[in-house]
Amino acid sequence: MTTEPITKVSIIISKGSLEGVYPGLIMANGARAEGIEANLFFTFFGLDVVHRKRHEHIKLATVGNPGLHMATWLGGVPGMATVMTHYMEHQIDKLDIPSIPEFVEMIADTGAGLYACKASVDLFGLEKNDLIDQVQDIITVGEFYERAAGGQIIFT
């Protein structure tokens, strides 16, 4: 059995936390490095990644995050999200992984498409000028599917 190679991926980023954002960015970067067409679709809290005032302040979700292996109540202690975010950013930096704003810019520079979800933009009362310059357009879900046609869709 022969398998067709993947030539296009469309990645949906719907979370606005470090652990919700980095997997999609790493997948998009890896796709572009392999010559695979990549599109990123930012929806709901994933819009924070491309929001001018928020993209530099993405935090680790500490409350109810089973991957942290700590009690849920401990994640809610004031300052815990900040402490854990700084720790995770330090670990990411040690691995020479770019910050989220740098990563997004780098991925856009490789020719990947960056799109904001129209329904989410409308829901949060945003406009195009609220988003970073790398966002090519605000599109509907239908337009996202048109761009994704013939490729794989990854939801992070």
CATH number at residue 41: 3.40.1260.10
- Alpha carbon distances (Å) from 133 to 39, 48, 56, 102, 139: 16, 14, 14, 13, 15
Amino acid at 58: I
In a domain, 49, yes or no: yes
In a domain, 117, yes or no: yes
Task: Tell me the pLDDT of the chain (156 aa) as tens digits.
Answer: 678 899 999 999 999 999 999 999 999 999 999 999 999 999 999 999 999 999 999 998 888 778 877 777 777 888 888 888 888 888 999 999 999 999 999 999 999 999 999 999 999 999 999 999 999 999 999 999 999 999 999 998
In a domain, 129, yes or no: yes
The predicted structure's pLDDT at residue 61? 86
**Listed residue (48, 58, 55) closest to 124, CA to CA:** 48
How many structural domains comprise the chain? 1
Q: At what angle do helices 18-33 and 80-94 cross, to 10 degrees?
A: 20
The predicted structure's pLDDT at residue 24? 97
In a domain, 76, yes or no: no
In a domain, 90, yes or no: no
In a domain, 50, yes or no: yes
The predicted structure's pLDDT at residue 75? 79
The predicted structure's pLDDT at residue 35? 97
Its domain, for residue 121, covers: 8-59+99-155
- Alpha carbon distances (Å) from 59 to 22, 49, 54, 117, 133: 11, 11, 10, 21, 22
In a domain, 64, yes or no: no
Gap between the Cα atoms of 113 and 100, Å rounded: 16
In a domain, 32, yes or no: yes
What global pTM score does this model have? 0.90
